Amino acid sequence: MRRLPVIAVSAVAALLLAVPAGARATGARATGQSPADTVKTPVAVGSGGAVASMDLDASQAGIDVLKHGGNAVDAAVATASALGVTIPFVAGPGGGGFMVIYLAKSHQVVTIDGRENCPAACTTTMFLDPKTGQPLDYDYASDQPLATGVPSMVAAWATAVSRYGRKSLAADLQPAIGVAERGFRVDQDFVQITQSDLPELQAYPASRSLLLTPSGQPLPVGSLLRNPDLARTDRLLARYGPSYLYDGPLGQAIVQADDHPVLTPGQSVVQLPGIMTMADLRAYQARVLAPTRVRYRGLDIYSMAPPSSSGSTVGETLNILSGYNLSGEPRVTALFHYLEASRLAGGSALVVNPAP
């Protein structure tokens, strides 16, 4: 499903192999530091643990949790919640995601399905044009509050921490709260994503005031972006737990924003309000599931089962490739087989320059 207009969609994209002792990050961005001063190190060497994400502040959040006694699951939640601050377009308490977890003591792999659900009022015809009976344009439909799924990320975080973490959800949210309060420097990637979503962000006064300039354009590179409202949201979740969202004031605010969105006068992007209710929030539960598993050249590959496409797509790709002697093929041929297997498994094509 799509992100909420103000509380953005999340994916647990972080992660890591970890025990806390000696964990550290290399090249982490200091809060308030200008992008020109940021040192991004492609390879970091250390001991005790590692965290990888698409943002330095978020990776540092995970490292900080490891240093203070958390395990890999705690660090994943800290990293993902911090991504909700620094990359609100793809992460945060208003969305959903998946987790694949290796339990070292029992040598088990488990997964958590934290995907958003469609509200109970969803129908098979909700995205058909009533005038023509044809499907609505995908981009148009995905921009509508009608396409908002029931927020599930907080339930997934809480499930993961309670079952497999060492610390509490409250403790794991602290780094994200700190980043939101202190702020972070906008980089070129942030500007590029903002530009791609500009009409949607301009359509909502709340998004416009937080993420855009007074003239409605992307913030310049190097701008310091603070998000005290998200810090307050995370602080309330830390204090009251998931029930603050699924049966409390935060959930009521989400339902109100989805079903009765406050829009910029004159905007034409948003036309179909949502259909979410508090009953949808109360009914949501994150599920602990068995992973997918495929054997590939003597290795066991575990991944996420449906509704994620990850496990089935990766498994099918590897099954196709198992019939080829990739190590004995010229590089271009091996790349061709890999890309074709990926295309057949995932239904999409990737074009690359095959030059060595």
- Domain limits of the chain? 17-288, 292-346
CB 211 within 8 A of CB 93: no
CB 109 within 8 A of CB 31: no
Residue 207's alpha-carbon distances to 8, 204, 227, 255, 275, in angstroms, are 10, 5, 11, 17, 21
CA atoms within 13 A on the CB side of 19: 6
* Per-residue pLDDT tens digits for 80-119: 999 999 999 887 899 899 999 999 999 999 999 999 999 9
Closest by Cα among 259, 285, 290, 282 to 272 = 259
The letter for the amino acid at 188 is Q
Q: Indicate the pTM of the whole model.
A: 0.84
Q: Classify domain 292-346 by CATH number.
A: 1.10.246.130
pLDDT in tens, the chain (356 residues): 333 333 222 233 333 333 333 333 433 343 444 434 456 666 777 777 889 999 999 999 999 999 999 999 999 999 999 999 999 988 789 989 999 999 999 999 999 999 999 999 999 999 999 999 999 999 999 999 999 999 999 999 999 999 999 999 999 999 999 999 999 999 999 999 999 999 999 999 999 999 999 999 999 999 999 999 999 999 999 999 999 999 999 999 999 999 999 999 999 999 999 999 999 999 999 999 999 999 999 999 999 999 999 999 999 999 999 999 999 999 999 999 999 999 999 864 444 444 43
For residue 171, what are its two tokens? 């403790």
